Amino acid sequence: MTVVETLLVFVVAPLAVYLLLWALTYLPGGRKRQGLRYKPGQPWEHEPVWYEPQPENAPTHAAGEGDTQAVGSSLYGEPAAIGSSDGHGPSSGGSHGATAVSAGAPAPAAAGPLGGARGTW
């Protein structure tokens, strides 16, 4: 085994392994797949979004009753608001994406006392 071979095997090869692992760990791009990272204190500049549970028999029927079978299957909003069969018709106001709240909709009166809790962080 020559000196060059020794160096290659015992110095260059371990260094290559270390560099590969370092690159896989620290180089940018790896974290982008995990979506947005929330940090407390930063402003929240996203559209409001309202998620609701899937109805009991959701996966079998197509989006016929105004349910959306979209991304999370729980995006509450525009499809249900537009396609709902309660006679509103296409209320194509300023409904973006997954917003459920249209400003013009009248808020029905609450029935009974409400409970709950509040927290800050």
Q: Any contact of residue 43 with other proteins (CB under 8 A)?
A: yes
Binding-site member from 24, 26, 29, 53 for other proteins (CB under 8 A):
53
Check residue 17 and give left, alpha or beta (phi > 0: left; psi -120 to 50: alpha): alpha
Smallest separation (angstroms) from other proteins to the CB of 55: 9
CB 80 within 8 A of CB 98: no
Cβ 97 vs Cβ 116: under 8 Å = no
**Angle, CA 80 vertex, CA 35 and CA 97 arms, to 5°:** 35
Give bridge partners of residue 66 from the DSSP assignment: none
Tell the smallest beta-carbon distance from residue 62 to other proteins (Å).
8
Contact pick of 27, 56, 57, 104 for other proteins (by CB under 8 A): 56
Tell me how far apart the alpha carbons of residues 43 and 98 are, in angstroms, rounded to a whole number. 20
Among 1, 2, 37, 60, binds other proteins (CB under 8 A): 37
Query: Which residues here bind other proteins, judged by CB under 8 A?
Result: 33-41, 43-54, 56, 63-64, 66-68, 70-76, 78-80, 82-83, 89-90, 92, 96-98, 100-101, 105, 107-121
